[in-house]
Amino acid sequence: MVDIGDIELAAERLRDVVRPTPASVSRTMSALAGGPVWLKPEHLQRTGSFKIRGAYNHISTLAAQGSATSVVAASAGNHAQGVALAASLSGLSATVFMPLDAPHPKVEATRSYGAEVVQVGESVDDCIEAARKHAAITGACYVPPFDDPLVVAGQGTVGLELASEAPDASVIAVPVGGGGLGGGIAIAIADRLPSARVVGVEAAGAACMAAALRAGGPIVLDTLSTMADGIAVRAVSQLTLDLANTYISEMVTVDEEEISRAVLLLLERCKWVVEPAGAAALAAVLSGKIRSIGEIAVVVSGGNVDPLLLTRLIEHGMSSSGRFVILRVLLPDRPGALAALTSALAELRLNVLSVDHHRRSDQLAIDQTEVLVTLETRDPEHRDEVVPYLKSRGFDASISA
């Protein structure tokens, strides 16, 4: 097990390496949650996530011991970048195995930190197998993403900082994938803020820690289904499960809509670009799944989001928050019909984003045309007014699936 002494030693190693990410109270999030909410912006950390902490603590220790000249790791993005930079700073060479469909920006960022990137397989599990084989053949030291005491201790330095930055917090909300960050933070909080609860947050489609806690041991999930790739892990380790059993008070899950709304809110109100995994803990607070009569501290763990995914997230978040709707309207196929529709939409002060016509369908009469209209609305109440109003004006309108 990792103890507070290990985390304090990691903090010394990281003193001149990590970037300060002081927690602060967000008025917007506090108003929405009904109480003070502190945000710890680890998405502003070097490499765009907390991962540099654990990676550097592990790799710099290897370098100091003289026990390695090269390291190897497997990752879809954040751990890859952390290992690449940590190896460069420690004077070691690094090879990182990444999936074939890993986002191009994450691949290039990993290369820019000095690592050799090898893309193999469809999943991180395939990459882990390849990385372990590479280690066996070449003698490179394998750097685990979470199943390692030095990695856990490095991640735990986030908890040390939170304890001094938000000393009155009664709840610490932490995203959980493999459990290294949650376990490390929970150890530090147990020592420095013993009255505070640490609550772990998983994506509903990748809740491997909750499954392991129920089963009494690590189990492998059959499938993963979440946009939050940073916490999409098939199985936790015995180490991180033991830490969760000992130090984490509760586990909760959030769905895709809750995550996307949190991403959008952080973008709009805080001007922060945060990846889905990084917004998971905040999603749990805003959805009411984590409550407290006192202050809540939320770890915003990473910001390495692919631009294409961010575009889809914005659209999805706007839709789930009632700010974006697609209408299906059947119109008579004659001049002026579309103008009448847009005039009715203007009366509701709706912003038309796009219009698509479809005339060929076995569900249409010969004198009909189908129009799909994408609209921007103010809020859910505004959205809910649209169809009843159009029907009152004689339009055959419905929300498109």
Tens digits of pLDDT across the chain (401 residues): 899 999 999 999 999 999 999 999 999 999 999 999 999 999 999 999 999 999 999 999 999 999 889 999 999 889 999 999 999 999 999 999 998 988 888 899 999 999 999 999 887 878 989 999 999 999 999 999 999 999 999 999 999 999 999 999 999 999 999 999 999 999 999 999 999 999 999 999 999 999 999 999 999 999 999 999 889 989 999 999 999 999 999 999 999 989 999 999 999 999 999 999 999 999 999 999 998 889 999 999 999 988 888 888 877 777 777 778 889 999 988 889 899 999 999 999 988 888 888 776 667 777 888 889 988 888 888 888 999 999 999 999 998 86
Q: Known catalytic residue: 225?
A: no
Long-range contacts of the stretch 393-398 (C-beta < 8 A, 24+): 393/344, 395/329, 395/331, 395/341, 395/344, 396/329, 396/330, 396/331, 397/327, 397/328, 397/329, 398/327, 398/328, 398/329
- Check residue 258 and give its pLDDT: 93
User: Is 3 in contact with 188 (CB distance < 8 Å)?
Assistant: no
Catalytic residue among 26, 40, 49, 51: 51
Using only C-alpha atoms, what is the Rg of the chain? 24
On whether the 322-399 domain is CATH 3.30.70.260, my answer is yes
For residue 40, the one-letter residue type is K
Sheet (strand 197-203) strand order: 24-25, 37-41, 295-300, 169-175, 197-203, 250-254
User: Helix H segments across 15-103?
Assistant: 27-33, 51-65, 78-90
What SS3 state is found at 141?
A: strand
Q: Do domains 4-49+149-318 and 51-142 have the same CATH topology?
A: yes
Burial pattern 211-244, b for ≥16 Cβ within 10 A else e, equals bbbeeeebeebeebebbbbbbbbbbbbebbbebb
User: Is 249 in contact with 292 (CB distance < 8 Å)?
Assistant: no
Burial pattern 271-283, b for ≥16 Cβ within 10 A else e, equals ebbbbbbbbbbbb
- Check residue 387 and give its pLDDT: 92
Q: How far apart are CA 267 and CA 175, in angstroms?
A: 18
The DSSP code for 267 is I
Fold designation for 4-49+149-318 = Rossmann fold (3.40.50)
Task: For residue 380, count other CB atoms closer than 10 A to its CB.
Answer: 13
Q: Which CATH number fits domain 51-142: 3.40.630.40, 2.30.42.10, 3.40.50.1100, 3.40.1380.10?
A: 3.40.50.1100
Catalytic residue among 260, 301, 319, 320: 301
User: Is 143 in contact with 71 (CB distance < 8 Å)?
Assistant: yes
Q: How far apart are CA 146 and CA 130, in angstroms?
A: 17
Total residue count of the chain as it appears in this document: 401
- Check residue 252 and give its pLDDT: 98
What lies within 8 Å, CB to CB, of 393 at 6+ separation is 344
Q: How far apart are CA 183 and CA 164, in angstroms?
A: 18
Strands 396-399, 324-332: parallel, antiparallel or unpaired by DSSP?
antiparallel
Name the residue ranges covered by the structural domains of the chain. 4-49+149-318, 51-142, 322-399
- Work out whether the CA dihedral 279, 283, 286, 292 comes out positive or negative: negative
Burial pattern 347-362, b for ≥16 Cβ within 10 A else e, equals eeebeeeeeeeeeeee
Strands 368-376, 351-358: parallel, antiparallel or unpaired by DSSP?
antiparallel
- Work out whether the CA dihedral 257, 258, 259, 264 comes out positive or negative: positive
Q: How far apart are CA 239 and CA 245, in angstroms?
A: 10
Q: How far apart are CA 195 and CA 7, in angstroms?
A: 19
Q: How far apart are CA 368 and CA 212, in angstroms?
A: 55
| Most distant CA pair in the chain, distance | 80
Q: Known catalytic residue: 51?
A: yes
- Check residue 317 and give its pLDDT: 72
List the structure tokens of 40: 């710890």
